Amino acid sequence: MGYTEYIKPKNLNDLLNNKKETEGRGEVIAGGTNLIPQMKEKVKSPDFLIDVCDLQELSQISEENGMISIGAGTTIADIASSEIIKSKSPILASAARQLGNPLIRNRATIGGNIADASPAADTAPPLLALEALLYLESKGGGQRDVPLDKFFTGPNQTVMKENEVITRICFREPASPLHGSYIKLGLRNAMAISVVSVAVMLDVKEGVCRKARIALGSVAPKPVRAYGVEKGLEGKELNRDVIEASANEVIKDISPISDIRASAAYRQHTASVLLKRAILEARDRGVK
Ligand SMILES: Cc1cc2nc3c(=O)[nH]c(=O)nc-3n(C[C@H](O)[C@H](O)[C@H](O)COP(=O)(O)OP(=O)(O)OC[C@H]3O[C@@H](n4cnc5c(N)ncnc54)[C@H](O)[C@@H]3O)c2cc1C
């Protein structure tokens, strides 16, 4: 074709129709902060761009019966400033505040961050620790939900089908929202892709860990849950010895590579150091 045609659906139904009609040749564009650079570098050359950035149905944050729902087109800036997110899932608000810079956060969406499936995506570890579900929809295929843990299959690869779009991301309000921590290590403090990132959510009662959900970014081909570390913490009193021993087990859950930002050995070491720090922070937050 040689040029890219721009389509602006008026509602979700239009979007699903457009996606089906352009199957294999059309790409959803939300904030464009990943897609436009990829098009400039000719990594992607879609014949059609389907712009979702003004779709009201995709940009709501709501809470009902303890379930938080975030429309896929919600911007990172709106997530960072949402009262619902700040009070019910502060680790996600924290990750949003640390993504990119103000210009990027005003354009970038949570759906684009997840659909791009970068191992370094900032919203992925907190959403994994919150056990988020993604809602995918397609014309003719209806709606299905996929646990985020099953969504990523590798770097920039997911189980999403060609004609599907992410409509929303949902999770249950954690038992103790304050007992959480998100730590991102980059090569500098702002405007940096993570070298290692860790997200921790704990349910702690009288010093004992009833539930632990832990996830990391930039230490494997996809953002990962640290199931071994979670097991090592659950049912135990969260003292320094238990935290140290469990955090050291993280090397069994990760498989970092060396790249321009850090060596595999550095990432392995840093993952357990940051994890210890994050577990301590999560344990002590909200304690009067
Ligand atoms: C300068 C700069 C700094 C950055 N810093 C960070 C950072 O610190 N941390 C970080 O994690 N990322 C960072 N990014 C990457 C990017 O900004 C984020 O991943 C952002 O969230 C992408 O969202 P978007 O709406 O712009 O996605 P887009 O570029 O619009 O889309 C990305 C991909 O997702 C698909 N997509 C979008 N929405 C949907 C949907 N609803 N359903 C199905 N598919 C969809 C698109 O088709 C496309 O393939 C940075 C980018 C830049 C340019």
**Domain spans of the chain, in order of start:** 5-51, 56-172, 180-284
Whole-structure pTM value: 0.97
Ligand 1 center to 141 CA (angstroms): 25
In CATH terms, the fold of domain 5-51 is 3.30.43
**Placement of tokens 């970068």 in the chain:** 118
What share of the chain has pLDDT > 90, as a percent? 90
- When pLDDT is averaged across residues 38-61 and rounded to a whole number, the result is 95
Residue 93 has pLDDT above 70, yes or no: yes
Q: What's the CA gap between 134 and 150, in Å, rounded?
A: 10
C-beta of residue 264 within 8 angstroms of C-beta of residue 238: no
pLDDT computed for residue 2 by the predictor: 74
Question: Which residues have C-beta atoms less than 6 Å from ligand 1?
Answer: 27-35, 37, 52, 72, 76, 99-100, 104, 107-109, 111-113, 115-116, 120-122, 165-166, 193
- When pLDDT is averaged across residues 41-45 and rounded to a whole number, the result is 95
Q: Which residue lies with its CA nearest to atom 14 of ligand 1?
A: 100
Task: Tell me the one-letter amino acid at 205.
Answer: K
What is the homologous superfamily of the domain 180-284 according to CATH? CO dehydrogenase flavoprotein, C-terminal domain (3.30.390.50)
For ligand 1, mutation pick of 14, 28, 185 (most atoms within 8 Å of CB): 28
Q: Which residues contact 208 (CB under 8 A, 6 or more apart)?
A: 235, 236, 237, 238
| Fold equal for 56-172 and 180-284 | no
Compute the chain's Rg from CA coordinates.
19
pLDDT confidence band for 287 (50 / 70 / 90):
low
pLDDT computed for residue 254 by the predictor: 95
Q: What's the CA gap between 204 and 212, in Å, rounded?
A: 9
The CATH number of 56-172, from 3.30.465.10, 3.90.1150.10, 3.30.420.40, 3.40.50.11540, is 3.30.465.10
Transcribe 122-163 into DSSP letters: TTHHHHHHTT-EEEEEETTTEEEEEEHHHHEEETTEES--TT
pLDDT computed for residue 218 by the predictor: 94
- When pLDDT is averaged across residues 44-53 and rounded to a whole number, the result is 96
- When pLDDT is averaged across residues 240-254 and rounded to a whole number, the result is 95
Helix (H) or strand (E) holding 184, with range, is strand 180-186
